[in-house]
Amino acid sequence: MSAPASDVQKLGSFAEFYAFYLGEHSNRTCRRLHFLGSTLALLCLALMISGQGLYWLGIGLLCGYGCAWIGHFVFEKNKPASFKRPLYSFAGDWVMYKDIWTGKIPF
């Protein structure tokens, strides 16, 4: 069972947080928007690394967080976990991204 949003700060390990994180992403459209944002962010990172300009970092952050926050506010109807646990939330997004690619989480 997922912890209440007010108790997210009390979650001690990443494994405990990730269980909460998945509960906050139960809406399929929200997960799809996260996946889209993460994919666009990776593409922007590749463009930046390939010498296309540092501004791609900003565009990548905008794509990643913009898609995720639209998913939360419009479809999931909750506040992103990144507001309370930014590092765990950032890590959780990439674990969820991997779990979607590997079929552990439905797309």
What does the pLDDT average to over 4-23? 84
**Are the C-beta atoms of 1 and 78 separated by less than 8 Å?**
no
**Are the C-beta atoms of 26 and 14 separated by less than 8 Å?**
no
| 51 φ/ψ sector (left φ>0, alpha ψ -120 to 50, else beta) | left
List the domain boundaries for the chain.
24-101
Q: Show Cβ contacts of residue 31 under 8 Å, excluding neighbours closer than 6 positions.
A: 25, 71, 96, 100, 105, 106, 107
Could you report the per-residue pLDDT of 15-50, keeping only the tens digit for each? 999 999 999 999 999 999 999 999 999 999 999 999
Per-residue confidence (pLDDT) for residue 54, from 0 to 100 = 96
